[in-house]
A and B are shown apart, each in its own frame.
Chain A
Amino acid sequence: MDIFLQQLINGLTVGSIYALIALGYTMVYGILRLINFAHGDLAILGAFIGLTVITGLAGSGGAPANWIVIVAFVLAVLVVAIAGVLLEFTAYRPLRNAHRLSAVVSALGASMFIQNGIMLIWSPQTLTFPEGIMPQTTYNFGSVVISATQIFIVTVSLLLMLALYLYVNKTRFGTAIRAAAIDQDAARLMGINVNKVITSVFILGPALGAIGGLFIGVYYRQAVFDMGWIYGLNAFIAAIIGGIGNIPGAMIGGLLLGLFSSLASGYISSTWQQAIVFGLLILILMVRPTGILGERVADKV
């Protein structure tokens, strides 16, 4: 029971990070029917920028002050959002009317470009985050340990997801985003500037991804240039599990994937974790080919 609860808490933490990153995949797919393979790398870029800000402002000794951590998150979000917009302008917009495969190749190229860029700017080595970025308090319940870091990550992630949900579902521009995802031409006939909608999605997705990426950094206390690949892949799988293109789906998919992989590594083996994640994906797609909340394609016509 204790193992179960412990893995539940760990899984919830990782899952909410996956969910944050998965939202970027799903929002871009929802509008452009494109998998932004560079999204995981953008998220990890957020971790590197955060790390640089923290070490730059706090030096390497001692725990960084709260304001430094806040500045790190804000700058990570800003830079990665700008990178997201630049990515769309350079890698995807020129190919808007080209063959689908061209965009896929461009996405893969962009992913490599960002990865190698991170490697050149920072280092090919694993970088370590200083101690004490997050409060170090831990709470023990029997043998179950919950850290303040975990509580912080889960709470902030859930709040961000709630905010995004309300923005997309309750505001005028959010409704325009949903309309453009359903039918771009019909959206234009409403007076919606679809290019603006697309840009906004390349701001929102990478911004949330950057927070997810920086959470990964502070949670595991390390960052490697090619880390975006595996975290991106898992977040992408989470988006598919939830039903790609569906925003609440990405949230549910992320949490589910985090819980499942965490329980799998607790009860079965952590070496098999990734294989088990793929197993979950296959299982869900067999039962529901469109993912948990995905619509049938026929409904879209």
Chain B
Amino acid sequence: MSLLSITDMKVSYGHIEAIKGVSLAVEEGEVVTILGANGAGKTTLMRTISGLLKPTAGTITYDGNDITQTRADAIVGLGIAHSPEGRRVFGTLTVEENLMLGAYTRPRTEALETRKQVYDLFPRLLERRLQLSGTLSGGEQQMLAIGRAMMAKPRLLMLDEPSLGLAPIIVKNIFAALADVRKTGVTILVVEQNARIALKLADRGYVLEVGKIVHEDTAKALMASSEVQEAYLGKG
């Protein structure tokens, strides 16, 4: 049984349908990427999985339970953490306060343990632990957003465009850290416009186009596919 499976899901903003019947599955321990151009519906898909949006049709099953109607704040407790697009760190709170909020659903002693792991993964955050997160650089904020999601000790870690707006060297660092994270056995669902780096990390991928999945394959196959190369890897 898949850790996460979505069937025939539709999501609308008013009468604009942004997700037009999507089905996908993520197995435990996998890294799955969802590629797609700007406006394809990637963020909408993620926000629906984490409960911030409610689908108009279809079901979301996580670990055997239907979570389609579960509230966002309850979904975190089930083991799904979501690092949102644009990082959304709490700018007037310190780095450490942000991290501890990530573990809001967990006992403090366990949270402190995870915090140590996050600081090991991103030593930069430890250096800046008492700094207001709004004063961090973009790359540091992204590390904080990922670290904050990890604080929930999720089974499914969802990342929405972790490379957004960052210099290539920083993107490389962040994906190197994510490669370390995957070794701990966490299942990762990562949305990206930067297909090259996402496919390097992922086992499998889906390609989303205007609210529909148009390709689904192993990361290797997607990397080799001429259509994907043309549209998302800037070759052709």
- Give the interface of A toward B (CB within 8 A): 172, 175-176, 178-179, 182-183, 185-194, 295, 299-300
Contact = CB atoms under 8 A, between A and B. Distances in A.
Nearest to B87: A186
A186 B87 CA distance: 9
Interface in B69-84: 71-74, 76-77, 81-82, 84
Given A175-B100, A189-B52, A191-B77, A295 B92 contact: yes
B50 interface: yes
Given A189-B149, A295-B92, 18 more contacts: A172-B104, A175-B93, A179-B93, A182-B90, A182-B91, A182-B93, A183-B88, A185-B47, A186-B90, A188-B73, A189-B81, A190-B73, A190-B104, A192-B104, A194-B73, A299-B91, A299-B92, A299-B134
Interface string B37-54: 000000000010011100
Contacts of A300: 91
B90 A193 contact: no
Contacts of A185: 47, 52, 72, 84, 88
B232 to A, nearest CB: 27
Contacts of B143: none
Contacts of A190: 73, 76, 101-102, 104-105, 148, 152
Given A185-B88, A186-B84, A186-B90, A175 B101 contact: yes
Contacts of B93: 175, 178-179, 182
A189 B91 contact: no
A191 B72 CA distance: 7
B97 interface: yes
B112 to A, nearest CB: 13
Contacts of B148: 190
Contacts of A179: 90, 93, 101
Listed residue (A176, A182, A187, A188) with the most chain B CB atoms within 10 angstroms of its CB? A188
B88 A186 contact: yes
Contacts of A176: 101, 104
Contacts of B102: 190
B84 A178 contact: no
Contacts of A186: 84, 88-90
Contacts of B89: 186
B90 A191 contact: no
26 contacts: A176-B101, A176-B104, A178-B92, A179-B101, A182-B93, A183-B90, A185-B47, A186-B88, A188-B52, A188-B73, A189-B52, A189-B76, A189-B82, A189-B84, A190-B73, A190-B76, A190-B101, A190-B104, A191-B74, A191-B77, A191-B104, A191-B105, A192-B101, A194-B73, A295-B92, A300-B91
Interface in B86-139: 88-93, 97, 100-102, 104-105, 134
A175 B97 contact: yes
Interface in B16-74: 47, 50-52, 71-74
